[in-house]
Amino acid sequence: MPDRGPALHSVPVRDRGPMSARPRSVPIRTCVGCRTRERADRLLRVVAEHGSLLPDPRRRRPGRGAWLHPVTGCLDTAERRSAFARALRLRGRPGTDAVRRWLRDQQDTGSLSVSSSEESQVDQS
């Protein structure tokens, strides 16, 4: 039988080598305020604890999380639409004082970075 080359179902294997970086997929989340889809590393994760919302910039707190652009406009819109109660499956409106304080502190220091790659890989606690 004559050699017809590689089989139709075979896939060529590429030598990636030890130094080639595989592109990582980045999760996409939806802001509960403006309903815009965005990369998760550009959004702030918010969790509910004892009837109030807490910012979770390191994404380490347990429980269900809601995602929010780190700007007060999206926070105001989410409050007006009762989006946190819906996203976190809560009864009543949770308090947003801690999230608002965190946003104000981040704006005052000029570091609205939600999470850096170093911080997400190394637990500094």
| Residue spans of alpha helices (H) in 8-124 | 72-80, 83-88, 97-109, 117-121
Per-residue pLDDT, averaged over 54-76, amounts to 96
Q: Where are the domains of the chain?
A: 29-111
User: Which range has the worst mean pLDDT, 12-21, 40-49, 61-70?
Assistant: 12-21
Regarding beta strands 52-55 and 44-49, do their DSSP bridges make them parallel or antiparallel, or are they unpaired?
antiparallel
Whole-number pLDDT of residue 120: 42
Whole-number pLDDT of residue 118: 38
Whole-number pLDDT of residue 119: 42
Whole-angstrom Cα distance, residue 58 to residue 52?
18
Whole-number pLDDT of residue 17: 59
* Res 22 pLDDT > 90: no
- The reported pTM is 0.70
Per-residue pLDDT, averaged over 13-41, amounts to 82
Whole-angstrom Cα distance, residue 123 to residue 54?
19
Whole-number pLDDT of residue 90: 94
Per-residue pLDDT, averaged over 8-22, amounts to 56
Give the architecture-level CATH label for domain 29-111: 2-Layer Sandwich (3.30)
CB atoms within 10 A of CB 33: 23
Give strand ranges (E) for the chain.
Answer: 28-30, 37-39, 44-49, 52-55, 65-68
On whether the CB atoms of residues 67 and 88 are closer than 8 A, the answer is no
Whole-number pLDDT of residue 11: 47
Phi, psi (deg, nearest 5) at residue 76: -60, -45
